[in-house]
């Protein structure tokens, strides 16, 4: 049995652990694996590398993906790229393809299954933890821990200068990272896309915090958090014209400093949250996902994707419905908001 | 409402996060908390300290317990200590007592509930993760990560000297830590109390590992792993007469070195696994346990204990049955054993 | 003997270790200490706190400064603030004042010594390591290690996506942090204020690096690095109008991506580099600086400042000459440049 | 030019950084390198591997040595091993050999230089920091930081249980690691081989420490610290018969617990101190040592060894005198002892 593996989309800690795990499961059953390079691009171009147990055995703690990744979507040029992809798939004589990726990468898999019945097994990957397929995705725990370690560093400098520090985390459409990291550091406020920004409440909480027992504050904000107040909406884009740099964190910091007169600083954690060695939790989850996918391949249960629901690993059909996004569970946000100076009941978006 | 808190048994990362969380939940509802010092001993002796939001707000990342801990059991001297405990409980005018501890500490709570209907809410604590009440306990994730970081250090020295390193972890009666950390580092072999030690198989796997792609090996062993072979049982205690020092790790290392002629070293991680800042996972779990216990107190649902089943926090009656121990789920062991050179099907104890 | 302590300017890891050390040395000799809050502002306003051995003993590993800090300079309002400062100094009945700060904070001390013979002992503090007084300053080693750990995380994501990552470090006028961290991570290029940016050479080196054995690159840039080419000078400020956000890192990244067509990302480490627990090196250096300053106080050798030259701690007169800045030793840069693909002989600024 | 490299003796963080650095310096000058495997054993047996820039470029952060190491001394079998070593040296057509090792490994180099004028350049390596050749050796800073991080973990558990924890560090003949780590964690007592153990003083200091502001204690002890009191000398070996396990740490802990009735625990850090990624300091020092050795090779200045004195890298003749050991500078010990509850003036051994 010959099994291809590919990793697509943004990298995340645990991808190499998944690769190692699939390779071992297949090898133990007498099969062999081949790595497709840089996501779907590798199948379009026919770029591969061998993947033996010897080459992958030591990878469990290595961040990123040795296969490389890309956001190439063969359906963007369906007339040239899809036939190329099929030709290379055939030439490689693959019995199965394990696709590790988020909704974009797995969305291509769905089309290839529907259009050509390619023998695919999917493994969900999302550092933002925003796929319905999984309670928790590998990489997420690592990202949250990186944010926590960073905030611990920032806190001592915030204390020394009696500052507010606004920490902008990943999370374009969901606040999982901001909320979990915020809860874990005891953030004084947390802003997430799922809850409209309530500036007066934020400022109120921060003023309360300048009380005897606390002389600084940490505000966590997911990069996708947004104002709803039309005045602020008008304000937001003005001072920050360069899309890569001026984010919601800088905007919030400016508002806080202007309104409270407390010195405020912003830190954008950016790519730090994606990289480095995975935590034990993510190594184990990635390893178990790899074993589950290997098992599905060996049982020839194609067109499936691995899931994690209620702490149990299982699988479901790989189709568009399965790839639905999953916003932050507001129960977690309410738990975290218990520790804002005044407990806060979030209003959901209407 | 006046709520007492006590922490008993061995310390573990996350205890302070629980304390902070209960204090905040009660304070938000208008109540106040008081800390009982050094477990049940504090109630027997009447030693307490105030616990305000201001004093506990910054504790989420601090290891150990600011309340101190002990293994004092008032039922060892029931005629003197239990009346003293009741007298101090009454004098403190407590409306409720939140008890954070393992089977011993919570076992005392069960008797106090049964004998005197003390208004108690329990929170399970076990760094070994061996209570049926919880899928995962706070502190366990931290312990596993400490083992993983330690093994990463040991691996480079094992490689340089082409050695086997035997790493002895906590786990007197269960192999959760050894198995999870072993899976996360890609250990070459894992020995746990739940699976009888099969020396020939261990030696066989290690010989295979001295192959071109690997020049060293990591063997994880829980301190409670035991031989079943009568000859080895006879051998085991001989060279290691001092109970605090000579453990199963040293014994296994000696057997490996003698039989394979590969240089072998032992490292006993010991108390390193209990201390230090909790991981994000454990901070969040501990915080949520504290909120859940605070809620139970506010609803006067006494005689209950917080649980975590299928990734959901709930509660159950606090009684002897609830405190049952929980061995390592062998499914995890089989997953980890996939990566031994020859996959291994564990035989359970008969 | 009653000794005041104050910390001024930007915070840095090791300040609390210095405070603890001075307090202990003075206490061992029978004296007592008092903390002046938030730098010179505390003396102007008369804000202080007690500093006993009990309160400071556990501080060696805590980042920042429990005394708070500010950039207040009483000589900005010499007619009001300087008399206030002298009045509070007299009211506190201080026999000596230990001032921990950089050239600004110590510059005020020089004027107070010259104008009023205040009994001051200085301790140099500069996270940028740019004071002639010291070969290495406490906090610098911690900052370099933070950069190294961050780059290790960024490297795995750079590898997975075959990117160039530009890491902007602290260093407005000197390249110590960028150069040392760059050497420690094996950076592919390092840009520092002491060496004019040579864009063609940088681009040349990066192109060489896209060779079989390496698919990514790390470029370190101190925030104060500058172009000299008039065309680029004209270009630089254009796309980055907001002073807090658009720095030299983003500018360099844009040039690299435009010219080489390699995907390039920027990370600005910012305040992360200032905070958190000091390394062992910085704890020890800070402790020894504190002991040396305490000794000078006890010997009533006022008007002095602690120094570190050729690995030895000593002291010198605290005057304007002593506070001279110290650029990066270009020998270190040449060592680091050995590892650029083509070894590079830096041209110094004329 | 063809240059051999070998690493001998115990591994230590920074060896791979040295290898990478020599390889790069030689390659930049047009030469090539070859790695001799497992110390002198590799030359006796003729085991080597190629060492290109491509293969070594990414090694700066990797602990241990990719060349492997051993304690093989060809002069133990001078009639067979020395001729074999010379034959392989000739067959490899080496123009020079860079030897990275401690007094044993470099002692062999001295004899080979004296007996056969082999073209050798030495680089001193000692994790214990006990060679006169260097103020500080690479690997030492890493070891000290590992001890510090470990003690930070142990401290929270010591606090929770109001315990004394005795931490046994490396240091068979010198106390550099114990003293530096002890100073960096604010140890309550430090025991080193250079200062005879004064049990009554130790016990006195620990009793003082059970005062209101501190409820626990950390005692650092180098594995080579020894009693001088004849009674204790008689006592010491009794309960700890197995040389690998029962060390001075366990012995001290037993005495403390017996005499003070304070619960006391021992942790032996062991091989943890040798492994893992080097700190920034050690990466830079190792890199600069490698560049200096490469330079000496290129200038054909054989029979030399790299040195670090007064913060400057230089070289000296490689002979027996140069390899002298260097005990802990007692000035550092006195600085650390300032923080014992009663400051302590150490008596040096007579």
Is residue D141 classed exposed, middle or buried when 0-12, 13-18 and 19+ CB atoms within 10 A define those classes?
Answer: buried
- In chain A, residues with a C-beta closer than 8 Å to the C-beta of B20 are 186
Are C287 and D335 inside 8 Å of each other by CB?
A: yes
Q: Do chains C and B touch (3 or more CB pairs under 8 A)?
A: no
Q: How confident is the model at residue D241 (pLDDT cuts 50, 70, 90)?
A: very low
Residue B346: predicted pLDDT: 57
How many angstroms away from the CA of B61 is the closest CA of chain D? 11
Residue D214: predicted pLDDT: 75
Domains D2-138+278-319 and D143-273+330-337 in one fold: yes
Residue C231: predicted pLDDT: 65
- In chain B, residues with a C-beta closer than 8 Å to the C-beta of D7 are 160
In total, the C-beta contacts within 8 angstroms joining chain A to chain C are 125
Residue D213: predicted pLDDT: 62
Are C185 and D61 inside 8 Å of each other by CB?
A: yes
Are B11 and D267 inside 8 Å of each other by CB?
A: no
Are B281 and A183 inside 8 Å of each other by CB?
A: no
Residue B229: predicted pLDDT: 72
Q: pLDDT tens for residues A295-308? A: 999 999 999 999 99
Residue A231: predicted pLDDT: 65
Length of chain B: 350
Interface probe with B: pick from D19, D45, D246, D271, most Cβ of B within 10 Å: D271
d(CA A194, CA C286): 46
Name the token pair of D266.
């021992």
ipTM over 0.90: yes
Q: Is D185 on the interface with B (CB under 8 A)?
A: no
Residue C239: predicted pLDDT: 40
Angle (CA) D135-D288-C196 rounded to 5° is 125
Q: pLDDT tens for residues D274-302? A: 989 999 999 999 999 999 999 999 999 99
Residue A48 predicted with pLDDT over 60:
yes
Q: pLDDT tens for residues D31-81? A: 999 999 999 999 999 999 999 998 999 999 999 999 999 999 999 999 999
Residue B238: predicted pLDDT: 43
How many other CB atoms sit within 10 Å of the CB of residue D257?
17
Q: Which residues 54-83 in chain A show a CB within 8 A of chain B? A: 54-55, 57-58, 60-61
Residue C209: predicted pLDDT: 66
The average pLDDT across A154-183 equals 95
From residue A111, alpha-carbon distances to A106, A115, A303, D34, D268 in Å are 9, 6, 11, 52, 58
- In chain D, residues with a C-beta closer than 8 Å to the C-beta of C61 are 148, 152, 185-186
Q: Is D72 helix (H, G, I), strand (E, B) or coil?
A: coil
Q: Do chains A and D touch (3 or more CB pairs under 8 A)?
A: no
Beta bridge partners, D131, equal: D325
Q: How confident is the model at residue D239 (pLDDT cuts 50, 70, 90)?
A: very low
How many angstroms away from the CA of A248 is the closest CA of chain C? 12
Considering only A213-217, B175-179, D255-259, which range has the smallest mean pLDDT? A213-217
Architecture of the structural domain at C2-138+278-319: 3-Layer(aba) Sandwich (3.40)
Q: Which residues 78-107 in chain A show a CB within 8 A of chain B? A: none
The average pLDDT across B247-255 equals 92
Are A280 and B20 inside 8 Å of each other by CB?
A: no
Nearest to D160 among B68, B245, B246 (CB): B68
Residue B242 predicted with pLDDT over 50:
no
How many other CB atoms sit within 10 Å of the CB of residue B211?
10
Contact assessment for residue A6 and residue A39, using Cβ atoms and an 8 Å cutoff: yes
Are C287 and D183 inside 8 Å of each other by CB?
A: yes
Residue A207: predicted pLDDT: 80
Residue B344: predicted pLDDT: 55
Residue A347: predicted pLDDT: 55
- In chain A, residues with a C-beta closer than 8 Å to the C-beta of B283 are 148, 183-184
d(CA A177, CA A115): 36
Q: Which of D141, D122, D100 is nearest to D282 (CA)?
A: D141
Q: Is A237 on the interface with C (CB under 8 A)?
A: no
Are B146 and D165 inside 8 Å of each other by CB?
A: no
Residue C46: predicted pLDDT: 96
Residue B193 predicted with pLDDT over 90:
yes
Which residue does chain A place closest to C37, by CA atoms? A160
Residue C234: predicted pLDDT: 56
Which chains form contacts with chain D, at 3 or more CB pairs under 8 Å? B, C
Residue B215: predicted pLDDT: 83
Are A275 and C155 inside 8 Å of each other by CB?
A: yes
pTM, two decimals, is: 0.95
How many other CB atoms sit within 10 Å of the CB of residue D168?
25
- In chain B, residues with a C-beta closer than 8 Å to the C-beta of D155 are 275
Residue B233 predicted with pLDDT over 80:
no
Are B343 and A28 inside 8 Å of each other by CB?
A: yes
Q: pLDDT tens for residues B6-51? A: 999 999 999 999 999 999 999 999 999 999 999 999 999 999 999 9
* Residue D235, C-beta contacts closer than 8 angstroms, at least 6 positions apart: D251
pLDDT tens across the length of chain C (350 residues) = 999 999 999 999 999 999 999 999 999 999 999 999 999 999 999 999 999 998 999 999 999 999 999 999 999 999 999 999 999 999 999 999 999 999 999 999 999 999 999 999 999 999 999 999 999 999 999 999 999 999 999 999 999 999 999 999 999 999 999 999 999 999 999 999 999 999 999 998 888 766 656 789 999 999 999 987 766 655 544 443 333 346 899 999 999 999 989 999 999 999 999 989 999 999 999 999 999 999 999 999 999 999 999 999 999 999 999 999 999 999 999 999 999 976 655 555 54
Q: Which residues 120-139 in chain B show a CB within 8 A of chain A? A: 135
Which chains form contacts with chain A, at 3 or more CB pairs under 8 Å? B, C
How many angstroms away from the CA of B156 is the closest CA of chain A? 12
The average pLDDT across D128-143 equals 97
Residue B214 predicted with pLDDT over 80:
no
- In chain A, residues with a C-beta closer than 8 Å to the C-beta of B185 are 60-61
Are A157 and C65 inside 8 Å of each other by CB?
A: no
Q: What is the DSSP letter of A319?
A: S
How many angstroms away from the CA of D79 is the closest CA of chain C? 43
The average pLDDT across B151-162 equals 94
Are A153 and C276 inside 8 Å of each other by CB?
A: yes
Q: Is B271 on the interface with D (CB under 8 A)?
A: yes
* Residue D182, C-beta contacts closer than 8 angstroms, at least 6 positions apart: D190, D220, D336
Separation of CA C217 from chain center = 26
Residue D112: predicted pLDDT: 98
Write out the catalytic residue numbers of C: 128
How many other CB atoms sit within 10 Å of the CB of residue B210?
14
Contact assessment for residue B185 and residue A278, using Cβ atoms and an 8 Å cutoff: no
- Distance in angstroms between the alpha carbons of the first and the last residue of chain B: 51
Contact assessment for residue A254 and residue A106, using Cβ atoms and an 8 Å cutoff: no
Residue A343: predicted pLDDT: 61
Residue A344 predicted with pLDDT over 80:
no
- In chain B, residues with a C-beta closer than 8 Å to the C-beta of A180 are 280, 284
How many angstroms away from the CA of B127 is the closest CA of chain A? 15
Nearest to D153 among B146, B153, B266 (CB): B146
How many angstroms away from the CA of D183 is the closest CA of chain B? 19
Name the token pair of D111.
């004899």
Half-sphere exposure (Cβ direction) of C340: Cα atoms closer than 13 Å:
24
Let me know if domain B144-274+330-337 sits in CATH 3.30.479.10: no
Tell the CATH superfamily of the C143-274+330-337 domain.
Phosphofructokinase domain (3.40.50.460)
Asked whether the CA dihedral C272, C274, C279, C281 is positive or negative, the reply is positive
Domain residue ranges in chain A:
2-138+278-319, 144-274+330-337
Q: pLDDT tens for residues C312-345? A: 999 999 999 999 999 999 999 999 999 997 665 5
Are B153 and D275 inside 8 Å of each other by CB?
A: yes
Which residue does chain B place closest to D216, by CA atoms? B68
Residue B119 predicted with pLDDT over 70:
yes
How many angstroms away from the CA of B106 is the closest CA of chain A? 26
Nearest to A28 among B21, B28, B338 (CB): B338
Q: How confident is the model at residue B234 (pLDDT cuts 50, 70, 90)?
A: low
Alpha helix (H) residue ranges in chain D: 15-28, 40-45, 53-56, 81-91, 103-116, 140-161, 176-185, 199-209, 230-235, 248-260, 280-298, 330-337
Residue B237 predicted with pLDDT over 70:
no
The average pLDDT across A317-325 equals 97
Asked whether the CA dihedral C95, C99, C103, C105 is positive or negative, the reply is negative
Per DSSP, the residues of B129-161 read: --BTTBSS-TTHHHHHHHHHHHHHHHHHHHHHH
Nearest to C246 among A38, A245, A274 (CB): A245
Q: How confident is the model at residue B228 (pLDDT cuts 50, 70, 90)?
A: confident
Considering only A263-267, A311-315, C343-347, which range has the smallest mean pLDDT? C343-347
Average pLDDT over chain A reads: 92
- In chain B, residues with a C-beta closer than 8 Å to the C-beta of D156 are 11, 13, 62-64, 275-276
Q: Which residue has the higher pLDDT, A243 or C143?
A: C143
Nearest to C64 among A15, A160, A270 (CB): A160
Are B284 and A57 inside 8 Å of each other by CB?
A: no
Residue D232: predicted pLDDT: 63
Q: Is B331 on the interface with A (CB under 8 A)?
A: no
Write out the catalytic residue numbers of B: 128
Architecture of the structural domain at D143-273+330-337: 3-Layer(aba) Sandwich (3.40)
How many angstroms away from the CA of D156 is the closest CA of chain B? 5
Residue A243 predicted with pLDDT over 80:
no
Nearest to B162 among D68, D272, D275 (CB): D68
Helix axes B280-298, A140-161, angle to 10 degrees: 80
Length of chain A: 350
- In chain D, residues with a C-beta closer than 8 Å to the C-beta of C335 are 287-288, 291
């Amino acid at each position: 049995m010959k099994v291809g593996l590919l990793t697509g989309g943004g990298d995340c800690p645990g991808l190499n652990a998944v690769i190692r795990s699939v390779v071992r499961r297949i090898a133990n059953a007498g099969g062999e694996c081949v790595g497709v390079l840089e996501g779907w691009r590798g199948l379009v171009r026919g770029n591969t590398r061998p993947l033996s147990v010897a080459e992958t055995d030591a990878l469990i703690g290595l961040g990123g993906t040795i296969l490389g990744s890309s956001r190439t979507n063969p359906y963007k040029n369906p007339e040239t790229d899809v036939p190329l992809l099929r030709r290379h798939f055939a030439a490689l004589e693959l019995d199965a393809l394990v696709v590790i990726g988020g909704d974009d990468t797995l969305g291509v898999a769905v089309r290839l299954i529907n259009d050509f019945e390619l023998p695919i097994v999917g493994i969900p990957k999302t550092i933002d933890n925003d796929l319905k397929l999984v309670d928790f995705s590998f990489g997420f725990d690592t990202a949250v821990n990186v944010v926590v370690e960073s905030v611990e560093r920032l806190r001592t400098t915030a204390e020394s200068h009696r500052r507010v520090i606004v920490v902008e985390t990943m999370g374009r459409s969901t606040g999982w990272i901001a909320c979990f990291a915020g809860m874990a550091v005891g953030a004084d406020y947390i802003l997430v896309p799922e809850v409209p920004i309530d500036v007066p409440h934020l400022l109120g909480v921060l003023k309360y915090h300048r009380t005897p027992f606390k002389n600084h504050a940490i505000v966590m904000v997911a990069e996708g958090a947004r104002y709803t107040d039309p005045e602020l909406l008008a304000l937001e884009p003005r001072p920050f014209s360069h899309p890569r740099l001026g984010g919601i964190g800088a905007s919030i910091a400016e508002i806080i400093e202007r309104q409270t007169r407390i010195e405020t600083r912003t830190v954008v954690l950016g790519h730090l949250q994606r990289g480095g060695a995975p935590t034990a939790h993510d190594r184990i989850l990635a390893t178990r996902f790899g074993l589950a996918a290997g098992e599905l391949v060996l049982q020839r249960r194609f067109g499936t994707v691995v899931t994690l629901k209620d702490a149990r690993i299982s699988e479901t059909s790989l189709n568009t419905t399965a790839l639905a996004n999953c916003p932050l569970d507001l129960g977690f946000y309410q738990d975290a908001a218990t520790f804002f100076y005044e407990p806060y009941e979030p209003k959901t978006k209407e």
